[in-house]
Amino acid sequence: MRIFISRLFWSIFVGILCVFCVAMLVLLPSPAFRPSADPADLPDPDKWWIPFAWLLLAAFVTAFFAARSLLGRFRTPLRSLTQAANSLAEGNYDEQVSLRSAGEVAPLVRAFNSMADKLKERIEVLSREENKVRTILAGMVEGVVAVDSYAQILHMNKAACEILNVSVDDPEGLHIYDVIEVEEVEELLRQTLDDGVDRVEELKIRKADQDQEQVLEAHVSPLRGRDGELSGGLVVLDDLTQIQRLERVRTDFVANVSHELKTPVTAISGLVETLIESEEMDEETRSRFLGKIQNQSLRLSTLVADLLALSRVEARDEQQLELRRMDLRLIAIDSARRAMVAAEEKGIQLHSQLPEDAVNVNGDDEALRQVVDNLLDNAIKYTPGGGEVSLGIEVEEGSAILRVKDSGIGIEAEHQERIFERFYRVDKARSREVGGTGLGLSIVKHFTASMGGVVGVESEPGVGTVFRVELPLAVEA
C-alpha cells in the first residue's frame, strides 16, 4: 500500500500517462487510423468510445508498471542513503552505501561516501586534538576552569577540583556557583563575565577540612567568540602555598644561620678584645677567657660542620648516595662507644640492647653514623644527670628499627612535628646552654629519607623521648 501514497510514484505515473495520451493524439489523425470510405467498415456510432477506452486502459496499465519499475530503481538506493545518513548522524562514521544497487543515483552515492570519509577524518582529527588538550590540562598542576557565558562549566581539570574542593565526579554542564565554595573565585569570575576584563589576584582561603591557610594566585580571563562577543570565562589557579612556605623556610634559615654564626663570633671577638686591652689580667681570669674562646670556637666549628653535612645530604638524592650492604649493629656499637664519654661526664647510664646477629641494611656509612651519633648526642644533652639513655635495634616485618630512648625533659606535643626543621628549638636558651646547633635532627631526617627510611618521635614531657628510625632490610643475595 505504501507505493500508492508515494508522491514520487504518482509523479512518475502521471508523467508516463500523459506521454501515452499525447502519443495517441498524435497518431490518431495519421492515415493508418483514418476510417475507411466503405460504410460497412464504419464502427457503430454508439460504440465509438470503446477503442479509446481500450487505448486509455492500456496506457494506464503501462504507465502503472513503468512507474513502479522506475520507482523501485530509485527507491532502493535512496532508502540506503537515508539509513546511512541516519547512522552517520548517530556517530557511526564508518557507514558506507554500496554502489552495486545505486543505479541512476550512483553519483549521489559516491558523493555521500566521499562526504562520510572526509567527515570521519575531520572528526578523528578533532577527537585527537580534544584528547591532547584534555591530557595536557589533566597533567597541569595549575587548576583550569572554563565556563560559558551562563557560568556553566565547560571543563574543569583534576587540579582545579582539588584546589576548589569539588566533590562532584563530573562537574561539566553544572553551574559553577553551585559546585565551588570559594567565594573569592566566584566573585572574580562574576566580575569578568560582567565586564570582560582580565583579572589577576592573590587569594588566601581556608578550607573547611584544613587548618592551614591556602594561598592561590587566580588569573581570570574572558573567552570571546569569532564575532568578538563575550562567550565565557577562563580561570587559572596557581597554588602558591608550598612556594610561600619554602620562601619562609629559606628566609628563616638565612636569619637563623646569621644569628647562630653571629653569637659565637661576637663572643670570641669580645673575649679577644678584652684579653688584648687587659694587660694586667691575672692568669686565672685569662685562662677562663681562653677556655670560653675555645668553647665558642668548637661551637662555631660544629655549626659549620653540621651546615656542610646538611648541605651535602640535601644536594644528593637516593641514587647519588653510595648505598651498600652494611651491618647497622656495628654502626650502633661504634656510636655508643663514642657517646659513652659524654654520658659518663654527665653521670648518665647508657645502655645498648643490640641483637647478636647482623642487621644488614642498604645504607651509606657516613649517613648511618650521622643518624646514630646525632640521636645519641641529642638524648644525652637533654637528659639530666642520673638519667638513662638506651640504644636498641629490632627487626620487624622486613625493616630494621633503631630506637634511642631517654629519660630526659621530653617534648610538648605541639613541638613534635617541627623538631626536624632546621634550627627549630623547643627551648632556645637551653639549647644554646647545652651546645646544640639546631641542625642535628634535621640531618637525621634527611639522611634517613635518602636511605629509603622514615623517622618518628614519641615523647611525654617530664618522662622522656623515644626516637624511632625505620630502614628497609637489605635483600639477601
Q: Does residue 361 contact residue 473 with C-beta atoms inside 8 Å?
A: yes
Whether residue 259 is contained in a domain is answered as yes
Do residues 457 and 335 both lie within one domain?
Answer: yes
pTM above 0.75, yes or no: no
| Structural domain of 152 | 140-239
pLDDT tens digits, 19-54: 666 666 655 554 544 554 455 555 555 555 565 566
Do residues 219 and 230 both lie within one domain?
Answer: yes
The answer on pLDDT for 4 being more than 50 is: no
Burial group, residue 396, by CB count within 10 angstroms (0-12, 13-18, 19+): exposed
Do residues 372 and 452 both lie within one domain?
Answer: yes
How many Å apart are CA 218 and CA 235, to the nearest integer?
7
Do residues 333 and 459 both lie within one domain?
Answer: yes
Q: Which residue has the cell 502503472?
A: 64
Whether residue 100 is contained in a domain is answered as yes
pLDDT tens digits, 336-348: 998 888 888 889 9
The answer on pLDDT for 307 being more than 70 is: yes
Nearest CA to 434 out of 342, 337, 371, 310 is that of 342
What is the per-residue burial (b if ≥16 Cβ within 10 Å, else e) of 404-434? bbbbbbbbeeeebeebbbbbbbbeeeebbee
In sequence order, which residues have a C-beta less than 8 Å from that of residue 159 and are 6 or more positions away? 140, 141, 142, 143, 144, 237
Instruction: Select from 216, 239, 262 the last residue of a domain.
Output: 239
CATH number of the domain encompassing residue 203: 3.30.450.20
What is the pLDDT at residue 106?
74
Strand partners, 464: 460
In sequence order, which residues have a C-beta less than 8 Å from that of residue 340 and are 6 or more positions away? 350
pLDDT tens digits, 183-221: 888 888 888 888 888 888 888 877 656 667 788 888 999
What is the pLDDT at residue 189?
87
Q: Read off the pLDDT band of 274 (50, 70, 90).
A: confident
What is the pLDDT at residue 105?
66
Do residues 262 and 224 both lie within one domain?
Answer: no
Whether residue 125 is contained in a domain is answered as no
Whether residue 135 is contained in a domain is answered as no
| CA dihedral of residues 263, 265, 270, 275 (deg, nearest 10) | 140
Sign of CA dihedral 354, 356, 359, 364: positive
Range with top average pLDDT, 243-247, 268-272, 299-303, 392-396: 392-396
In sequence order, which residues have a C-beta less than 8 Å from that of residue 244 and are 6 or more positions away? 215
How many Å apart are CA 146 and CA 152, to the nearest integer?
8
Q: Across the chain, what does the average pLDDT equal?
A: 77
What is the pLDDT at residue 32?
47
The answer on pLDDT for 352 being more than 80 is: yes
User: Where does 220-362 have alpha helices with state H?
Assistant: 241-277, 283-315, 328-346
Strand partners, 214: 205
Do residues 201 and 299 both lie within one domain?
Answer: no
Count how many domains the chain has: 4
pLDDT tens digits, 125-146: 888 887 877 777 777 778 888 8
